[in-house]
Amino acid sequence: MCETIYVRLLHEGSEAFRPVPAIKISDTVYQIDPAAPYNEEDETWEFGPGSKVEVRQPKDFRGEVRTIAVRLCL
């Protein structure tokens, strides 16, 4: 079952994130859905579909918690 995590967008001029579907492997590791809709001509994700990523859950300035991909798991 997929959940939503957030992947940083590169080359946007300011910090931006894209919500993407991902499969939870553990509390801190997710795999971005290999079938996630990704158009590399439109935007560049820090981690692409199929990537296993470590996540953090920081609060934003409104106090909301989001699950953010922070690095690849090898």
Per-residue pLDDT tens over the stretch 15-28: 899 999 999 999 99
- Residue spans per domain, the chain: 2-72
Task: Express each pLDDT in 43-66 by its tens digit.
Answer: 999 999 999 999 998 777 677 888
Q: pTM value?
A: 0.89
d(CA 22, CA 12): 23
d(CA 58, CA 37): 25
Got the DSSP string for 11-54?
SSSS-EEEEEEEEESSSSEEEE-TT----TTT-EESS-TT-EEE
Q: Is 22 exposed, middle or buried (0-12, 13-18, 19+ CB in 10 A)?
A: buried
